[in-house]
Amino acid sequence: MHTDAEQMLAQFLDQLTVEQRASEHTVKSYRRDIKQLSRYCKDKLIDQWNKVQQSDIRSHIASRHRQGIGSKSLQRELSAIRSFYNYLLKKHLADINPAQHIKAPKQARKLPKTLDVDQVNGLLEAGADSILEIRDLAMFELFYSSGLRLSELSALNLADLDLPDRSLLVRAGKGGKSRVLPIGSKAVKAIENWLSHRLSIVTATESALFISTRGTRLGQRSIELRLEQWCKKKGIVEHIHPHMLRHSFASHLLESSQDLRAVQELLGHSNISTTQIYTHLDFQHLAEIYDKAHPRAKKKLE
């Protein structure tokens, strides 16, 4: 691409950071996705962004799909390209948004893997043998009790908890949105137990709810590893990751309440279609019960 084109991209990314306060992760993703388009343009001898046509975007996405890039990733790339061209249009540096009506190839939606209630109970009632395991149990109880994302749990501060009210505040969920969530009685008890030990290892200035042995905030990767270690030590063969506890929270709550909107709000989903995937899990469960229990489904007719 021409030097001017490279400068336009740099200015767009600066605007994302300064004006829109996008996260570092988002800016990196946008840069990577638009650089993919830039490589396509270079191969096609296109040296300016305003020379890119709809057919070029369609051809670029088709090429990426042939390389094995999944539908979700392609949707993200198209979103980045659309945002970039919307910026160029506002600056009068482009006449059209060539990605506006281009759609990524559809992909079959994978159902999230969940644990059943007995599996969750087995995981959370395995018993804690040390201060670190007391902390870990509080984390795992909170994952399942409130349906938190891994990033949300890691970011929790002590001030975000209101244990008398049995609630917590997620200050910056996905998309920068905050929400208040209930905490179940088992999780409250586990957290209170952890807080009685937290004082012995916390540094003077650390505000994080969950901390390492160094007294500082526990990172996301460390939380994942602690769950792996917990399962291994407790003899749980199945590979369980933090998001499985969030999925299980959603599935079990929806199965009991049948209130899709409430589950959407608790999970912090901006679009209800994201939450609807759990209705498929619920139907799958009902279908299994049907196959086992219905007289006409038990055995094949001869």
Among the listed residues 215, 208, 205, 111, the one whose alpha carbon sits nearest the alpha carbon of residue 155: 208
Q: Which of 60, 149, 198, 226 is catalytic?
A: 149
Catalytic, 226? Answer no
Catalytic site includes residue 269: yes
Q: What are φ and ψ of residue 208, in 5° steps?
A: -65, 145
The answer to whether residue 246 is catalytic is: yes
Judge whether 243 counts as a catalytic residue: yes
First to last CA, the chain: 69
Query: What span, in angstroms and rounded, lies between the C-alpha atoms of 277 and 38?
Result: 35
Q: How many CB atoms lie within 10 A of CB 23?
A: 12
Q: Among this protein's residues, is 241 annotated catalytic? A: no
User: Of the residues 174, 186, 189, 241, which is catalytic?
Assistant: 174
Among this protein's residues, is 135 annotated catalytic?
Answer: no
Angle at 58 between CA 7 and CA 4, to 5 degrees: 10
Q: What is d(CA 190, CA 187) in angstroms, rounded to the nearest whole number?
A: 5
DSSP-assigned states of every residue in 162-190 = ETTTTEEEESS-GGG--EEEE--HHHHHH
Separation between Cα atoms, residue 153 and residue 151, nearest integer Å:
6
Kindly write down the DSSP assignment for every residue of 4-61, as one continuous string: HHHHHHHHHHHHHHHTS---HHHHHHHHHHHHHHHHHHHHTT--SGGG--HHHHHHHH
Of the residues 217, 226, 246, 247, which is catalytic?
246
> Could you say which of 171, 189, 241, 243 is catalytic?
243
Q: 182: which strand partners?
A: 167
The Cα–Cα gap between 157 and 169 comes to: 9
DSSP per residue over 118-129, as a string? HHHHHHHTS---
Active site residues: 149, 174, 243, 246, 269, 278
